[in-house]
Every structure is written in structure tokens, then in C-alpha cells.
Structure 1
Amino acid sequence: MSRHRIALALPAVALAVALAGCSQSGTTGSSGSGSGSGDDLGLVTDGTLTVCANLESPPNIYTEADGTPVGVEVEIADAMVEKMGLEIEFKEIAFSGLIAALQAKQCDTIISSLYIKPEREEVADFVPYLLSGSGVAVSEENPAGITGFDDSLCGVSAIGITGATGATLLEQKSVECETKGEDPIDITLTDKAADALQQVIAGQADAFMDTAELVGYYETQSDGQFVVVGEPVDSIQIGAASLKGNDALHAALEEAFAGVVDDGTYADILAKWGFESADIANA
């Protein structure tokens, strides 16, 4: 498997977007069977696929204590890059700044639990690689009596990730609550899922909504303090985004993913992480 470098992500000043970044030193390597240089792909760095990612979305994509990127999406990215014959470098970006970073050409692709939505497809081409959905989680005590993504959210406090679908769904539900004559949802936004988890456990927010995979992962890691309620909603595809107009890179990513599926690597990765239900190849 490819080794990784996490690079410092600088703000895209021309877009006036604050992009959160951190730096970790490391090495890169690949034993891929592809062309190797990527000269015709318009890469930020020749021979390297630079990936923008929010590395705080376990179990999809996150870091170990030493800063090494891990997760099901990291392994899918590794496998694709090996097919392309390239090295890989991750740039850590706040989720809300991912599209802006891609547009500013700070990276070649986004692989970061990014849902494929019409507004995003206006600026990026996608290679779908996972199925996903959104889920609601509460504290063990659940004082507000929340039962899922339903009217039990009306009048409670909830937290979402800035720019993420979970936050959008909360906003839509809040409007629906008011339409029904109920109190709106008191919504708070954060860039860090771990902060949302702690706020819910501490009783500072009644609920947290984000990807079903993420809230489910935190439930397994919280020793019963954090509990998923209800069923996942809003089934949607996750994909690798490349800047619209770079047809060569999009085609290369598409071909690489097809190769990972065909040789069985994709199925092996999903089985390792318990992600069989997210299999997009057999959907």
C-alpha cells in the first residue's frame, strides 16, 4: 500500500476562503502498474495525486496518533493510485473549504466523504465509489427524547458540520418544524466531528447529525455515551471529485476505480471495514 505525506494546506486568498490545514512530514511511494508520471493529467505535482481531504471523518478517512491517514476511503484511494502508477499526498482541508481548494488547484481530487450533489457537479466531475446516508445521534441520557430524523428534533438543539449534508438536512427539518407550528431547531455548526461528539455527551447539544458511517463509528467508540437513533436517511453516493474540464484526470480516476473493482481489491477493502452495505459496484 502507498505511504502518505500530509501537506500543509494554505488559504485560497483569491477566493477569500479560510482553509484549515496542518502539516505532518512523511514519505510517499507507489508500486503501481500505471504510467507513472501523470504528465497528461494536469497534476499539481508530477507523479503525485494530491488529494484534498477532511481527515476527521472516521471510519471513512481519519488519522492515527502519528498522523498517518487511515480508513476505508484512504485504502480505496491507495488502491486507485497504485493502478495509476502515481504516489499520493493528502492535504488536510476543513470540509467547508474542500471545493474551494479544488477550484484553487491546491489539489487534484477530493476524496473525503463528499456527497455527489447537483450543485457540486456544476464545478466538478465525480467518480462514485461508496454509498452513504445521514444519521442522528444523541447522548446516552437523551433528555430531549429524540427518536431519529423526525419531528422529535423540533425545538431541540442540534449540531452539524459546516458545509455538510447533515447540517443542510437539519436546516430543512427546522423549516418544516416551523411550517407545522413547532419550534425550530437550534442549529450550531462546527468543522470538527470530535467537537460535536463532545458537545452532545456534555449536554451542550441534544443531537448531532452527519454521515451514518461517522455517527455509527463514534457510537462504537463511546462506551455507550453516544447513541445512534432512528434509521439512516437520504441515501446518496460518495465520489472522487476532480475539477470540471480536466477530462483526462476524470477518465484516469474512473479507469483506476474500475480496475480496483475488477481485481477484487474493492470488495476486500469493504469487507475489512464492514462496509459491504456501501458497495456501489453491486448497487
Structure 2
Amino acid sequence: MKNKLFIMMLVLVIGVLAACGTKDNNASDTGSTTDTEGKQVLKVGTSADYAPFEYVDAAKGEEIIGFDIDLIKLVGEKIGVDMQVQDMDFNSLVPALQAGKIDVVISGMTPNPEREKVVDFSDKYNETEQVILVKKDSGIKKEADLAGKKIGVQTASIQENLGNEIAKKVDVTVEGRTRIPEIVQDMMSKRLDAGILEGGVAKGYLKTNDQLEAFPVEEQPEDFKAIAVPKGSDLKDKINKALKELAEEGKIKELEEKWLEKVE
């Protein structure tokens, strides 16, 4: 009788412990959404190879800095959340947002029909131009000179679309790279003859490398940047409200003056 009673109590205890274990596991699967002060934390995906918008200045440390990073932190202050920025390859940002691995994307990203099918975008926060970066001794001065050449673009970017459009007019080979620095490195080592970059990004390379020059893409598309959020998320309205307030307060203008310059 005592043995039966002991076994019944043991089964009951095991059942309670199993239930507690299941609860704990489920809690850990969802991950923490608050910081130590009880503030909601949003995971922000970016591709930190896109100076001056998002990059790491190795001489100063490992922190991701830039126009977009300052902006998303200001947006976070407006909507009352902490923005936790993490570096990812550009072409993995939208899939990560779809999969719920991140909550927000800010990475110099331009809305297009393909992206808009799967994620939502905020109002625009910056406009820019696109340029073709070449070596000064390349003999390439206009798009027609790209015939028979190789031009580098960042995979899954607006620059890739532009390269494909140019290829319809000129016999040029378009090659994708995961990161912007790879394009410039391959140009310097003659594996590529040119690269399509955003004007503000190209400016940084022109400042530090006197062997390079740039000229605008002939047919400039409407190019603006926006913040991406999951499809149907209420974050879109909150971010739009924050962006509007930041613009009215002159904060976005201040960030532009701090970080951005046009190609001369």
C-alpha cells in the first residue's frame, strides 16, 4: 500500500515538473521583448557595409554607426522602445523580417513591387541619386563605354535592377556581390571594370581613393529610402508619425548635415 502511494506521489511530482518545464521552454522560445528597465526592445536589421548610412569604423571600434542608425534610434525614442541593431547581409534582411527574426529593417532600402508584396514600408526619409564608379584610367566616361565590360552591383539591391536595365542597352555583364566593399576591391584588382553605387556611398570612396571617379546613371529612377516592417504591422503608423515629427523638428535635416554629402 505504501509502495502504491509512493508511486502515485512520484507520478504526480513528475507531472508537475514536466508542466513547469514546458512552460519555461515556451517562454524561452518567444524571447525577451523587454530590457532590464521593462522597455520594449525591437530587433533592427541592417547591412553595415553602406557608409555613411550604416557601417563600422574599425579605427573607432565595432559599433555600427551612420545616418540610418542615428535615425532609427531617434524613432525608437519617439515611440518609446529600444532599438537593438544587428548586422546582416543585405539580401537576407527581408527574409529575416518575414520570418520574425527581426522587427524592423533600416538599411538604405528602397521600396519596390517585389518587396512590397511581402513587407510594409514607412514613408520615405531620404532621397538620393545613383552613380557609376570607375577607375580614372578605365576610359569609361559614360554608359556606352561599358560595352564588353563587367559592372558590379550589390545583390538584391536597386543597383542590381539598374545594372540589368543598362545591360538591355549596352553589352555589359552585371555581377552581384554581397557587400559594397567587395565591389570596390574587385574594381581595384581589375576583376570588375565599374560599379553602381548610391551617390552618398560613392562619395566616401572618392574621398579616400584618388584613383576613382564617378558619373551619374543616365536614367535616374525615383530613389528614396524607407523603413521596412512586417506586413500588416502597426509599427508602420507609429514609425510614420515619428518620422513626421522628426522632420518637423529639423532632426532629419541635422542628420543629413552630419552624415550625407552629394557626389561633386
* TM superposition score category, shorter chain reference: 0.7 to 0.9
Alpha-carbon separation, structure 1, partners of 2:31 and 2:65:
23
- Percent identical residues: 21
Alpha-carbon separation, structure 1, partners of 2:33 and 2:62:
22
Which of 91, 100, 106 aligns to 1:111? It is: 106
Alpha-carbon separation, structure 1, partners of 2:155 and 2:262:
28
**What is residue 259 of structure 1 aligned with on the other side?**
245
CA contact (8 A) 2:105 2:227 kept: yes
Alpha-carbon separation, structure 1, partners of 2:260 and 2:48:
20
Matched, 1:120 2:115: yes
CA contact (8 A) 1:270 1:276 kept: no
Matched, 1:87 2:74: no
CA contact (8 A) 2:200 2:262 kept: no
Secondary structure of the 2:151 match is strand
How many pairs does the alignment contain? 225
Q: Which structure has more helix as a fraction of its residues?
A: 2
Gaps of 5+ in 1: 1-41, 178-183, 278-283
**Cα RMSD (Å):** 2.1
Secondary structure of the 2:74 match is helix
Which of 207, 232, 256 aligns to 2:194? It is: 207
Secondary structure of the 1:252 match is helix
The code of the aligned residue for 1:167 comes to E
Q: Answer with 262-271 or 108-117: which moved more.
A: 262-271
Gaps of 5+ in 2: 1-29, 35-39
The code of the aligned residue for 1:146 comes to I
The code of the aligned residue for 2:215 comes to V
Secondary structure of the 2:126 match is strand
Secondary structure of the 2:75 match is helix
The code of the aligned residue for 1:254 comes to N
**What is residue 126 of structure 2 aligned with on the other side?**
130
Matched, 1:58 2:51: yes
CA contact (8 A) 2:54 2:64 kept: yes
Alpha-carbon separation, structure 1, partners of 2:248 and 2:111:
23
Q: Answer with 192-201 or 44-53: which moved more.
A: 44-53
Alpha-carbon separation, structure 2, partners of 1:274 and 1:166:
19
Alpha-carbon separation, structure 1, partners of 2:262 and 2:80:
27
Structure whose alpha-carbon radius of gyration is higher: 2
Alpha-carbon separation, structure 2, partners of 1:126 and 1:234:
18
**What is residue 219 of structure 1 aligned with on the other side?**
206
**What is residue 95 of structure 2 aligned with on the other side?**
100
